[in-house]
Structure 1
Amino acid sequence: MVHTPTGRPARMALAALLAATVTALPAPTPASAAGPGWRNLAAGQAADANPLKGFIPYAGTYTTFPHSMEWFYLPLNAVMTGAHRFDWRALDEQLDAIAGRGHQAAFRFYLDYPGKPSGVPRFLLDQGLLTRPYDDFGNDGQSVSPDYDDPNLAAALDRFIAALGRRYDGDPRIGFVQLGLLGFWGEWHTWPHNGDPGTENWFASQAEQLRVLNAYDDAFDRTRLMVRYPGADNKAHDLGYHDDSFAYSTLPGPGWHFMDLMRQAGTTDKWRTNPNGGELRPELQGCLFNTPMDCPGDGDKDFGASVAQTHATWLLNHHAFSPGYTGAAYDQALKGAKSLGYELRVTAVRTGQRGRGLDLAVRISNDGVAPFPYDWPVQVAAAGRDGRIARTWTTSWKLTRVMPGEPAELTASLPLGLPKGDHTLVLRAANPLRNGVPLRFANADQDTTVPGWLTLGRINVS
């Protein structure tokens, strides 16, 4: 049982309420299915957009598809202006714009993005950093591939990652940070320049990859991290993965697909503690949800199986926002977006008086494929007949521990400290982004008493 500490003001209020009684009023549904003292809560539809999950667009204003996050890239030289100098305005401007729309951000930094100007900071070029021009992926010499094992570059990345973590770890504007930095698009590969017969290997050595992994793991304790490829070298790190060829080269088979690598690395169950994400393969975005599905060419093309095996929480799918889906394709895409990540529902509640406090227990199920990715504060509040909240309690409940298919029972003892009369208990997981999308439970009584809160039932204090 979780006990919420009470301070001196709360104890004084309790002393004046020695005669208080708490009575749970009859529920509209039979209690027998939940067990003695329990009241069932009616199920409802999951929200079309819940925080930190679903399909997301490149950063911008869109009303064509429900969403709670936005995606962007930034070149390293946009913020790293010297060996020990940083100008964070470019990053803050993006984060502020996205937060202003009530959304959290997912992003990565890059040094080399085919088709865009190089992201390598000028000071590294002045120090003699080797770079390689190329024409692959329509680059036509615009960007260059740096020598990732150059000691000056390695030291600069150490300093950048440490500074990024000091400033932004736990920032409520941020949902996920992808490690980036290495390889084309920051995707941790330089294919076709990867050492295959007849090619040079331009990618970072294993030692440099591990150095970047360790630097990010050291710099971030609260904000969730993701790296492109599962591997034995990152299995023990506190990070998840992003499959950027989702539903194309996801399912196991040839030995190099995403789930092949997950199995080889022994990370197939890591989704229980570290969320996975990625990008729906761009060639599939406009056709995968058609009926019948009419995507040409090769690839898995099995969205449902890819979600089930990866336990993905969110995917970049810009087509959903521009040009957008219509008709049956929209319905299928929305169903696909809602199948990602968590789907939380409170199935039953029990209240009772014990001494001077309220004993509260809730049963929560997760009908999704992954746990909620953060331990946002889970709060209980008492609202009066006017819908105004009279008191709020913050529990120590952890939604990250509510696993798919493993219902949880959470309990707390709450000091009353309420005025006499009827009150309605409500529940929420508080989004730390002040105007962020509220987490909505898949219950019929979500938002019925107070917007953003789930109604649990009534109590009477006399």
Structure 2
Amino acid sequence: MTRTRPFASLPFSIALLLLAALASPTLAQPTASWRFTPADFSYSPGPADNPLKGLVPYQDPPADRFPYSMEFNYLPLAKLVTGPGQYDWQPMDAMLEDIASRGRQTVVRVFLEYPGRKNLIPQFLIDGGLKVHYYMNTNTAPHPPAAIETPDYEDPNLRKTMTDFIAAWGARYDGDPRLAYITAGLLGTWGEWHTYPKSELWASKQVQREILDAYVAAFPKTPVLLRYPAGPNDELYYDSTTYPFGYHDDSFAHSTLPTGRKQDDWYFWPKMLHAGLSQRWQTAPIGGEIRPEVWGCCFDKEPCTAASQSFDECRDVTHATWMMDTGLSRKKADADRYRRAIEAVQKMGYDLQVVAAAAKRQPDGSVKVQVTVENRGIAPFYHHGWTVRLQIASDQKLIGELATDWSPRMIQPGARKTFEHTLDPATLPAGKHQLQLQIPNPMPSGKPLRFANQAVDPRSGALTLGTFAVAG
């Protein structure tokens, strides 16, 4: 429980005016009288573009196609690492700033190989003897095969370059409010941790372990997601069950759920089950990308391909918080698809409803504020650095703010959490006031977290908890 004075964070000039008003004989110190009337806390689903959840288009999508709070893009390692221990962060900063300029946060992946692209591997490594395999990659559907350059992942200089880069990246950006999620990347085609169909070029488990160890040390705050879940007996992948990472399914709504066929055991959820990770969503996020074959049409009433799987079922089984999607940003959806997509996306991730509030006078004259929040979503809110503010308004104008130590993190679906805070009513002017709750985005231009309440302000995210009167 925290105890603060409500005007500590106000500008000095405003604080002086309030102090002068409190000193006035017409605004006497409050008596024991304190009356609090709770507001209406009726449920209404949070918006589809609530922060850090929902659908994620690629960087700078067409405006007004579908509401979203994040954008995704790749960066090649060669653009960021210019020499041993030498880094150029300008491309990373430019991407983060561009996306933040639209009020969105960034999902990013750094990679070394991509079909049809060249010069992705830092040149100093090649000059130093790194072996590179050149061939046509045929695993590019729905696009045609394309030339690819796969480095020798066992090369000691490359391994040190990757782990040193992760450490430097984390030192500079871990917890940066512009950065929403990192997909681990670096290894394999598109940074997706495979070199299929040339699996003989895939990184050894020792190399994978080095990457995992580097990420866990460098990013204790920003969530990192891995492509493939793996337990101790996995043939290709190092056991990741002891690491705190989330996972991303890049064939979502197509190759997600079990089919009962042995050849489909590589699908995302069968691998999660086999690795014993079916409850990982309780502590780390599940994300990914909707498979290109079902972009957009995965929200239609009828399936668009024989291989498509129900978006709603995939979402609920995996407890997905976010998914990359191009279908709804590529072209304007018709009314029925748009409506169904909004309803489906609102059910992703967290959905926090204020269900009760009270403000009771204590024997020592202070007031204890209690607010109960329930998560009606399918996953918790995962991020550090988001804190709740209590606000005091009079005639709909803000007159005071109280910083709290409340955090929306890790309220599990179906669970409730009651927060407490103590304020000093002697610092308040006499009259009728509103007590409000707000969770601002730590990125100044970002969208606030909006509660799943009918009465929430859709722009500021402020929710009135109730009204109270201070006698004078």
SS at match of 1:214: helix
In the TM superposition, residue 5 of structure 1 has moved relative to its aligned partner by: 5.2
Give the alignment partner of residue 169 of structure 1, picking from 169, 174, 183: 174
Which residue identity is paired with 2:412?
M
Which residue identity is paired with 1:347?
V
Determine the structure 1 residue equivalent to 2:467: 458
> After the TM superposition, which residues 71-86 of structure 1 pair with which residues of structure 2 at under 5 Å, given as runs?
71-86=72-87
In the TM superposition, residue 40 of structure 1 has moved relative to its aligned partner by: 5.2
Determine the structure 2 residue equivalent to 1:149: 154
In the TM superposition, residue 212 of structure 1 has moved relative to its aligned partner by: 0.1
Q: Is 1:250 the counterpart of 2:256 in the alignment?
A: yes
Q: Is 1:234 the counterpart of 2:234 in the alignment?
A: no
Q: 1:24 touches 1:457 (CA, 8 Å); kept in 2? A: no
Which shows bigger deviation, 176-185 or 254-263? 254-263
Determine the structure 1 residue equivalent to 2:341: 333
Determine the structure 1 residue equivalent to 2:302: 292
Mark the CA change 1:9 to 1:244 in structure 2 (over 3 Å): closer, same or farther: closer
Alignment length (residue pairs): 437
> After the TM superposition, which residues 217-366 of structure 1 pair with which residues of structure 2 at under 5 Å, given as runs?
217-232=216-231, 233-252=239-258, 253=260, 254-293=264-303, 295-299=304-308, 301-354=309-362, 355-366=364-375
Determine the structure 1 residue equivalent to 2:433: 423
Give the alignment partner of residue 417 of structure 2, picking from 400, 408, 411: 408
Q: 2:5 touches 2:402 (CA, 8 Å); kept in 1? A: no
Which residue identity is paired with 1:259?
W
Whole-angstrom distance in 2 between the partners of 1:283 and 1:343: 29
In the TM superposition, residue 290 of structure 1 has moved relative to its aligned partner by: 2.2
Mark the CA change 1:64 to 1:20 in structure 2 (over 3 Å): closer, same or farther: farther
Determine the structure 2 residue equivalent to 1:395: 404
SS at match of 1:184: coil
Instruction: Report percent identity of matched pairs.
Output: 37
Which residue identity is paired with 2:407?
K
TM-score under structure 2 normalisation? 0.88
Which residue identity is paired with 2:149?
V
**Runs of 4 or more off by more than 4 Å in structure 1?**
5-10, 15-18
Mark the CA change 1:400 to 1:7 in structure 2 (over 3 Å): closer, same or farther: closer
Q: 2:434 touches 2:467 (CA, 8 Å); kept in 1? A: yes
In the TM superposition, residue 79 of structure 1 has moved relative to its aligned partner by: 1.1
Whole-angstrom distance in 1 between the partners of 2:221 and 2:155: 30
Mark the CA change 1:421 to 1:5 in structure 2 (over 3 Å): closer, same or farther: closer
Q: 1:22 touches 1:459 (CA, 8 Å); kept in 2? A: no
Whole-angstrom distance in 1 between the partners of 2:89 and 2:191: 19
Q: 1:49 touches 1:66 (CA, 8 Å); kept in 2? A: yes
Q: Deviations over 1:341-363 (max 9, x none)?
A: 11111111111112232211122
SS at match of 1:116: coil
Whole-angstrom distance in 1 between the partners of 2:108 and 2:158: 21
SS at match of 2:75: strand
Q: Deviations over 1:166-223 (max 9, x none)?
A: 11001111100111000000000111111xxxxxx11110010010000011001111
Which residue identity is paired with 1:161?
I
Which residue identity is paired with 2:49?
A
In the TM superposition, residue 25 of structure 1 has moved relative to its aligned partner by: 4.4
Whole-angstrom distance in 1 between the partners of 2:32 and 2:47: 36
SS at match of 2:299: coil
In the TM superposition, residue 21 of structure 1 has moved relative to its aligned partner by: 4.5
Mark the CA change 1:263 to 1:26 in structure 2 (over 3 Å): closer, same or farther: same
Q: Is 1:373 the counterpart of 2:374 in the alignment?
A: no
Q: What CA RMSD, in Å, does the superposition of the two structures yield over aligned residues?
A: 2.2
Whole-angstrom distance in 2 between the partners of 1:20 and 1:128: 81
Whole-angstrom distance in 1 between the partners of 2:450 and 2:64: 20
Mark the CA change 1:393 to 1:146 in structure 2 (over 3 Å): closer, same or farther: same
Which residue identity is paired with 2:402?
W
Q: Deviations over 1:278-337 (max 9, x none)?
A: 0011111132222322x22424x1111111111110100111111131121111112222
Determine the structure 1 residue equivalent to 2:195: 190
Which residue identity is paired with 1:279?
E
Unaligned runs of 5+ in 2: 10-18, 232-238
Which shows bigger deviation, 61-70 or 349-358? 349-358
In the TM superposition, residue 18 of structure 1 has moved relative to its aligned partner by: 6.2
TM-score under structure 1 normalisation? 0.90
Q: Deviations over 1:237-292 (max 9, x none)?
A: 12101100111111124422111111121111111111110001111113222232
Whole-angstrom distance in 1 between the partners of 2:389 and 2:317: 32
Whole-angstrom distance in 1 between the partners of 2:464 and 2:208: 48
Q: Deviations over 1:79-110 (max 9, x none)?
A: 11111211111111110010000000001000
Q: 2:77 touches 2:120 (CA, 8 Å); kept in 1? A: yes
Which residue identity is paired with 1:281?
R
Which shows bigger deviation, 326-335 or 312-321? 326-335
Unaligned runs of 5+ in 1: 28-38, 195-200
In the TM superposition, residue 402 of structure 1 has moved relative to its aligned partner by: 1.5
Q: 1:18 touches 1:356 (CA, 8 Å); kept in 2? A: no
In the TM superposition, residue 409 of structure 1 has moved relative to its aligned partner by: 2.1
Whole-angstrom distance in 1 between the partners of 2:341 and 2:295: 9
Whole-angstrom distance in 2 between the partners of 1:114 and 1:9: 56
Which shows bigger deviation, 43-52 or 17-26? 17-26
